[in-house]
Amino acid sequence: MSHYEAPIREPLVLGDKSYHDITEDIAKPIEGKANKNWYMAFYISLAAMLWGFGCIFYTVGTGIGVWGLSKNIGWAWDITNFVWWVGIGHAGTLISAVLLLFRQKWRMAINRSAEAMTIFAVFQAGLFPIIHMGRPWNGYWVLPIPNQFGSLWVNFNSPLLWDVFAISTYLSVSLVFWWTGLLPDFAMIRDRAVKPFQKKIYALLSFGWSGRAKDWQRFEEVSLVLAGLATPLVLSVHTIVSFDFATSINPGWHSTIFPPYFVAGAIFSGFAMVQTLLGIMRKVTNMEEYITRLHIEYMNIVIILTGGIVAVAYATEFFIAWYTGSPYEYYTYLSVGAATGPYWWAFYSLLLFNIAIPQLLWIKKIRRSFIWSFIISIAINIGMWFERFDIIAIVLSKGHLPSTWWRFEPTFVDVGIFIGTIGFFFVLFLLYARTFPVIAQAEVKTILKSSGEFYKKRREQGIPTKPEIKVAKPAAKKESKSDKKDKE
């Protein structure tokens, strides 16, 4: 009965599949050749990335003055992008860690790509504060190391320093979690590789994984403990990012609901990005039988939930801003002032993309449709970018002192760096999709008998999942000494 699952549950692996079929399916995109679409997407992303790098070099060479920010709106476009990218990263850890703790089997088809997305997104996020320093070569000043300035240490009271610790811990732990899960899958590719160079590379990547019973026992324990550590970690990261705002004294930022609201928003945007990526990837890599309608629906349910939390947070912010009666609150990003001021378009974009459009997912047909999920996920990605833009640009554009009121306009460099990070992200993801096992095949094999369509059908017919034993012919006999020892 070890492979029992209630028949009412829909299968997670479609088709008539054996363990070997899973191996074949996952190895195919790696062993095959890339098609024209892949090359087209790759070159477009590469061009965007190079353009972004050009803008970064221009910024570093000339100075932050090439951006549209000013003394009053000091965190403009780039910190918006930083928070946006960090938020996107959260879904990967949520899928791999939180869903593991809850024993959700559907995570197994999507955790590998979601974690890859996390790592690549956090790379992009990390770029922005470093460029924002203006002198990135002094970036090591954020580390608590003995220095030549008279043992002047970093300030552990600062949320910006908490960010340094939170994000570096998050990135490195996610990377290790991801790689440990990849070892058995790299080993699978290694053991079936025919080209010697490929074999060498995957032998190196797999760290010599052999799959002993003891290794698997440790592997499962390590995964569980890492999941237990990563769950509070992922919540802490966006909590600390929200502290960047919440511990300040700006109206609109100084808000106690920021931590839970930011975490929900991060998961909301992260799942949207997973939908965007997997919507394309399942087609391109022929993983339609592993990433099914059911997976899409489950992710959409998480999106409805976290989107609902975000909507309630917006309503609370709007109400509280009005209820204080404070004139300073009149221009926060969720206020009448914002709705009627120069940033009205950003205000309404936020409501449209983040609150109105995701409500379509209440309809089951839309929730289970690939194309609709894809469109809605793009809308949420845009909406969540506007959320961060509104929080930063609208709030800072009208500070305590009316003579400092100022309007932010991005320059081509601002836009270029943002486009560059999107390009960089997709370059990494496209390379990943060609060279890494995009589905955790070892884990999917463990659920094949309980949640595979083939075995579920057989179980309904009363056929056990354990195949009948066909006694093999004894192996070719050697010159038998056959001095049998009897044993009980």
Q: Which two tokens stand for residue 27?
A: 């190895």
- Any contact of residue 206 with another protein (CB under 8 A)? yes
Contact pick of 33, 103, 195, 487 for another protein (by CB under 8 A): 487
The torsion angles phi and psi of 13, rounded to 5 degrees, stand at -120, 120
Q: Which is nearer to another protein, 75 or 170 (CB)?
A: 170
Which pairs with CB-CB distance under 8 Å and at least 24 residues apart come from 415-419?
A: 415/77, 416/51, 416/52, 416/54, 416/55, 417/52, 417/55, 417/56, 417/59, 417/78, 417/81, 417/128, 417/131, 418/52, 418/77, 418/81, 419/48, 419/51, 419/52
Helix (H, G, I), strand (E, B) or coil at 452: strand
- Any contact of residue 248 with another protein (CB under 8 A)? no
- Residue 411 CB, shortest distance to another protein, in Å, is 34
Contact pick of 16, 31, 215, 288 for another protein (by CB under 8 A): 215
Contact pick of 18, 37, 62, 138 for another protein (by CB under 8 A): 18
- Any contact of residue 104 with another protein (CB under 8 A)? no
- Residue 244 CB, shortest distance to another protein, in Å, is 12
Query: How many of the chain's residues bind another protein (CB under 8 A)?
Result: 84
- Any contact of residue 217 with another protein (CB under 8 A)? yes
- Residue 348 CB, shortest distance to another protein, in Å, is 35
Q: Which is nearer to another protein, 107 or 367 (CB)?
A: 107
DSSP classification of residue 287: -
- Any contact of residue 467 with another protein (CB under 8 A)? yes
The torsion angles phi and psi of 439, rounded to 5 degrees, stand at -130, 140
Contact pick of 8, 194, 371, 469 for another protein (by CB under 8 A): 469
Q: Which two tokens stand for residue 357?
A: 């459009």
- Any contact of residue 203 with another protein (CB under 8 A)? yes
- Any contact of residue 245 with another protein (CB under 8 A)? no
Q: How many residues does the chain have?
A: 488
Task: Considering only residues 393 through 452, tell me which ones interact with another protein, judged by CB under 8 A.
Answer: 442-443, 445-446, 449
Contact pick of 327, 402, 462, 474 for another protein (by CB under 8 A): 474
Q: Which is nearer to another protein, 187 or 413 (CB)?
A: 187
Part in contact with another protein (CB under 8 A); list of ranges 4-12, 161-169, 349-357, 361-369: 161-169
Going 191 to 195 to 197 to 201, the CA torsion angle's sign is: negative
Helix (H, G, I), strand (E, B) or coil at 13: strand
DSSP classification of residue 253: T
- Residue 15 CB, shortest distance to another protein, in Å, is 16
- Any contact of residue 95 with another protein (CB under 8 A)? no
User: Rounded to whole angstroms, what are the CA distances from 234 to 79, 118, 293, 388?
Assistant: 19, 11, 27, 19
Q: What distance in Å separates the CA atoms of residue 12 and residue 292, rounded to the nearest whole number?
A: 7
Contact pick of 144, 315, 362, 412 for another protein (by CB under 8 A): 144
- Specify which residues 452 forms β-bridges with: 13
- Any contact of residue 258 with another protein (CB under 8 A)? no
